[in-house]
Every structure is written in structure tokens, then in C-alpha cells.
Chain A
Amino acid sequence: MIHAGYEGEIRVFAEYERDFTEGCDVAVVGSGPCGAVVARELAHAGLSVVLLEEGPPFTPAEFELDGARWMAKVFREGGLRATRGYVMPTLQARALGGGSLVNSAICVRPPEFVFEQWAAGYELEGTSRKDLDPHFDAVTDYLGIAPTPDDVQGPRNLLFRDGCNELGIGSEPIARNVRGCRGSGECFTGCRNRAKQSMDITYVPDALRRGAKVLTSVQVQEIESDGGRVTGLRGQVVAPFDGARSHRFRVNAKVVVLSAGCMATPVLLQKSGNLANRSGQVGENLQFHPGGMVTGVYPEPVNPQFGATQGFQSLHFLEQGFKLETFWAPVTAQALRFPGFGHDLKRRLAEMPRAATWDAIASCHRSLGTVRAGKGDSLEPKLHWRFDPEDIRVMGRALWELARIHFAAGAEKILPGVHGLPEELHSLEEARVLETREWKPTDITSGSTHVFCTTRMHGDPTKGVVDPLGRCHDVENLYIADTGIFPRCTSVNPMLTGMALAHRTADTIRDRL
């Protein structure tokens, strides 16, 4: 449908009545943070852009306050995806705007050492923090990214600040892509306050305004190529939620940009005749930021449902391999943190209004895995990943620091959530074992939504899939713009870095076309 004031067009599931073909300068697969940036920037540059998204656009009426029901609607595999090897839940949204619809809007620029490691380890040029800062600035200005103000932090976030201050640990309010947050704590289930600047209300409408065509509920199944060049895409219309396939489509494009996410882009390449994989690196090097959590129970009410979903962080330990931050999620997910069963469990659940949960994300660049295409016509990936013992040690250390901060902030006890420990620890002395014991992977319950490196960039075409500008070494008019191109995890929340790199890739495509 064409809307007044918009040069472009958006199509939704109910509008597809037959097979169809489109033509454009640039086809972008995936409308998450990276794909949306590319689509908007290239539409503004005057190129004809088709943005393809498998999920539907969600309106506030479709947001679900119940976490499980929401996850079943908005995430692939009903929100029940997990790695094999080490079993760890991981998520991938299927919606216009991708992960930006469901994440906590955290925007962090990695410090210089992260990019120095990239350059040194992967023969990269032009990827220093200084090189990328103009692109970080562009995204930051556009989305109004700013530190979370104190009045919507709530005790859950401010206790973290207080605990860090008490211990002399550096901490800061988290910068987020929000405007007018009221502290509803509903980032995960769709911001009813429309404060979160997710892609579906920012970059995508802006791309439409400048002439982009946005096709929702379409699943790209193959990238077509001929003589070392991509010629277009083909796929099918899919029904929202049940994924039933119907009409076929083809998009002819001069350039294709894959922004399907770190778990889907490699599958698409593998399903397309193992495209762009002379290096053998497509689907390899899978990295996560596994997250571990510690809940503190306080003597006074924390009212954890109020406050920015994730409002405070500490980058103090980044070079030691972990980042600390506050956390909130729907009660369904929070309740899983509370151990035991029966009346014990209910007694603990009743303490939730006095509880604050904080998490650590670990830079697990030693823990590697793979993404493989499933059999048949399924596009769901098979993920295999192992937790390296050294990274588990880092996680133990991170949990110990969280325990310290909780007790410094006045917690009367903590729930460590680690097998082999008592379900509640009442003092720092009791908690010290978190740091000193050798933990097994199965002792620690982790989850992760930060995924990286499965189509990594590398200066040497035999060791990586794309160059520093996001172009595939093997296919000159095929680009990748998602966190899969990171050569190594960022140590901080990756959305902003992915968007900055995507912004630069868009500039590159604009200059080359």
C-alpha cells in the first residue's frame, strides 16, 4: 500500500494474491537494526531499494504482556531455540524491526581496545574506533541515543549504581535509543509507551518516505548468482506466526545486502550453493556473549517492575572479559531465576518485589561453535556451541563481582543460580566460592541474545567471508550487514556497532553504484 507523504510502498501478508517479481538497485534481506540502516541510507541516496522481512509489522495492539505468549508470537522457533553441545537458549525475532522491537535498546560504543584486537587479529584496516566514530555519530544522532535519566531508573537500577560506588567500581547510566521512557520496564514485550526507537517506527518508515519498497511476510530462500555475481533473490510469502508458505517471488537486484542476522545469513548462503564460502568460514566461529545472573533480595521494596528495563552498567571489567548490567524481563522470565519448588518456591516468589536481578555478559571469544543449515527446506539453523573452560572461569569471576555489588548495595541475600551452591547465599564469605571454584559448563545456567562472527570479516580472503566494508570477498555485489561480520565479539552489547558498520556499508554501496 502507498501512504500519503511516503514515496515508497509497504506490503503486508493480506495483500499478496499471486506470484510476483520486483526489480531494484539494492535488495536488503532483514529489517533489523543493520538492514534498516542500510535501506534508509540508500533510499535517501536516491537508489531504488527493496527491503524484505519475513515477519509482520507489530502494532501495540498485538504486544503481549505475558512473556511466554509474546515469545511464541515474535520469536523464531516459538522462542524455544537453543544451542546443542552446551545447551543455551538463544533468540531471534521475526518481526518488522527485528531484534530492535524486543531488545532493551542498549547502545554502547566498544572501547578502542576492541577494535585494536580486530585489526591485529584479523588483518583489518579502517576499522579503528576513530574510523567508525562518524558512523556511530550518525546513528546516535538519528535515534537520539542518550544516557538513561535518573527519574526513570527505579531502585532496581539505582541499587546497582550505589553498590558500584560503594566498592569503587566504575558504572554509568546506559545510553539507549529511547525518547520519553517512562520506566514501564516493557522493552522486551514491545514498548507500549512507544518510547523505544525501534526500527519499525524510525528507520523503516524513513526509508519508505524516500521511496523504498518494504515487503513484509516474505521469506528469502535462495540467493541467485551467475558468473560470480549475484543476480537476485527468490523465496515465498509466509503467513504470520504459522509460517505457511504460499506465493513465490523473485527480486532482481544489482546489489544484495544480507542482514538476516548471525544465525540466518549463513544458512541462506549455505542453501544457495554454499555461496561466498571459498574461505570455508561461512557458519564457523559462532560466538556468543553468554549471560549469567545473580539476584539480590533486599530488606526494602525494590518494585522491580518499575524502571528502565536495563538502565545501569559497568564497563569496569571489560578488559578482564565481562560487562555488568542491570536487568529486567517479563515476570515469567524473572520467576525462572527463583530456585526450588513447592512452598519454598512460592516463598521465594513472594520476595520478588524486594528483588533485583543483574547480569554479566562474558566476552567468550574462546568458546566457538557453528551454524549449519537444517535438512530439507527448513531455514532454521542447527547451532552447536561449546563453553570453553577459561571462559567459564571468567563467568564465575563475573558472578562473584555481581554478588559483591549486591551485598555492597545492602542485599540481605543473593540467589546465585549455580548448581552445586546453596540456593541462597547470605554473606560475601559464602559467595566467595563463585570466584574460587572450578565450575563445569553444566553448573552455570546461561542464555544469550548477542551472536557473532559466523560470516566474519578478515583482510585475508582465505580466512574470512567479507572485507572491512562488508563486501563478500568472493562475490563483488553481495554484502553482509549484521553482527555475523564481527571478527570477534564486541565485549559490549552489539546493536550500535552493527548499525555503525551497516551505515558505512551503505556509504560504500552508494559510492560504488
Chain B
Amino acid sequence: MPAGTALLATVVALALGGWALWRFVGGYPAARGFERLAPREVAFLRAVGDAMYPAGGVPRASGTDARIAEYVDEYLGLVPAQMGVLMRLLFFLVEQATILFPAPGRGGRRRFSALTPEQGAAVLDGWRSSCLPARRLVFTSLRAVLTNCYVADPSVLRDLRLAPFDFETPVLEADLLYPPIGRPPAEIVHGQADLTPPSDGSPLPLDGPLHPAYRAPEAP
């Protein structure tokens, strides 16, 4: 290919790539009920979340039930912006890479979120078992994000019988030194009267109550 043509092709490819990224990552308004994720990202996360964690079995919740997309939306606000961009590029890659690594069957080159559940599972298996370390790394990274979100759901931890215990936190002298993060010293929560004996080292009972945030909601 002549040098001029190659240069032109490169410029066009870069422009198209930049446009696509802009449209996907920053060019869409957030989906309804979300602060950061665009509708297409939400669709992808629900599709891939359900492929990774389908409904049924134990834990009972599917990826959608466990609110994976909602968690990612919040999580993107907690991590540094650069990490957030990398995470969204990961979603973009898996959503669109069916062009290069299609699912079996009719319409296998559609976006991941448009595939049937069986096709989605086949695509994930392709990433998981690839002979290319980079593809396996993509799968591992995606699974890490989705798993973090999935097992953050209290119902999942209850089903796994791994929800945290509830117990009293002793109040130490050091707790009288530090205000809540971002607040002035005048808002230090504890005073001398709140001090308690330190932990006595008694083992926690396995059948003890769960932390309030992980208890099952009471039936109406």
C-alpha cells in the first residue's frame, strides 16, 4: 500500500475509533435512574451479568437481580477517573468484539447485548479459554468487576451463608481523636463517657445475628 494511502487509512481509522469511543463513553446521556452509565452500557452489563450469573440455583439471584449495572454506576464514581475510563473501555471491547470473535449461529456478529443467552455464553467461553493471554486477561478483568458487584448484593451473601456477623464495636481512646472523614473535630462522635472495655477475645458465635445491612427484609 502506498505510504499516502496508509496514512489516510490510519487517520480515518483513528477518527472513526475516536468518534465511536466518544459516542459510547461520553457522548450519550446517562440512562434513566443512572448517574454515569449510558443506556447501551446498562444493556451490556445486564446481558453480560446474566451470562456470568444466570438466574436459578444458589445463589438464586441473577446478575440483573443483584443490580450489577447499578453497582457499576456507583463504583465508577468511587474509582479514579482514569480507572473508570479503562473499565468502560473494557465493557466497550467485549460488547463490540463480536465483530472479530463472533458467537456461533445466526447473527453471531451482533453486539454482545443483542445476542441470545446461549450465544452470550459461547462468547464468554471464547474469552475465558483463549490461547491468547491478553484475551484471558480481558475475561478475568471483566469477571472480577462483575463478581465484585454480584457478591456485594446482600441476598447473594445470605444465600452463600457468608454474610458478615453483627457485634458491638468497642470505643477506644483513639476514637476520641478522629472526626468522621471530611468533618471538623467538633463533630467527633465519641466522648469520654462512651469509652468501653476493649474486646475480650471471645470467639464470635457462628449462629449469631447478621450485620443489619445483610439481614433479609422482613415480610410485609
Contacts of B152 in A (CB 8 A): 66-69, 332
Complexed CA–CA distance, A240 and B199 (Å): 29
Residue in contact with A3 in the complex, picked from B125, B144, B177, CB distance below 8 Å: B177
| A321, CB-defined interface residue at 8 Å | no
With A59-B180, A205-B173 as given contacts, are A342 and B51 in contact (CB-CB < 8 Å)? yes
Contact A341 B75 (CB under 8 A): no
Contacts of A243 in B (CB 8 A): 80
Q: Which of A328-362 contact B (CB under 8 A)?
A: 331-332, 335-336, 340-343, 345-347, 349-350, 352-353
Contact A3 B176 (CB under 8 A): yes
With A201-B172, A352-B160 as given contacts, are A341 and B52 in contact (CB-CB < 8 Å)? yes
Contact A12 B79 (CB under 8 A): no
| A47, CB-defined interface residue at 8 Å | no
Interface residues on B, range: 35 or more
Residue in contact with A186 in the complex, picked from B78, B164, B172, B214, CB distance below 8 Å: B164
Contact A60 B175 (CB under 8 A): yes
Residue in contact with B160 in the complex, picked from A195, A349, A419, CB distance below 8 Å: A349
CB distance from B174 to the nearest CB of A (A): 4
Residue in contact with B57 in the complex, picked from A72, A87, A149, A350, CB distance below 8 Å: A350
Contact A151 B203 (CB under 8 A): yes
Contact A69 B78 (CB under 8 A): yes
With A69-B75, A72-B78, A192-B167 as given contacts, are A350 and B199 in contact (CB-CB < 8 Å)? no
| A56, CB-defined interface residue at 8 Å | yes
Residue in contact with B201 in the complex, picked from A15, A56, A180, A192, CB distance below 8 Å: A180
Interface residues on A, range: 35 or more
Interface hit among B1-9, B20-28, B96-104, B183-191: B183-191
| B148, CB-defined interface residue at 8 Å | yes
| B151, CB-defined interface residue at 8 Å | yes
Interface hit among B33-41, B107-115, B135-143: B135-143
User: Which A residues contact B (CB, under 8 angstroms)?
Assistant: 1, 3, 6, 10, 12-15, 56-62, 65-69, 72-73, 77-80, 87, 96, 149, 151-152, 179-184, 186, 192-195, 200-202, 204-205, 208, 239-241, 243, 303-306, 331-332, 335-336, 340-343, 345-347, 349-350, 352-353, 419, 442, 445
Contacts of B175 in A (CB 8 A): 59-60, 194
Complexed CA–CA distance, A12 and B214 (Å): 32
Q: List 20 A-B contacts (CB under 8 A).
A: A3-B177, A14-B185, A15-B185, A56-B182, A60-B175, A67-B152, A68-B148, A78-B79, A79-B79, A179-B199, A179-B201, A183-B203, A194-B170, A195-B198, A303-B206, A336-B143, A342-B124, A346-B59, A347-B57, A445-B140
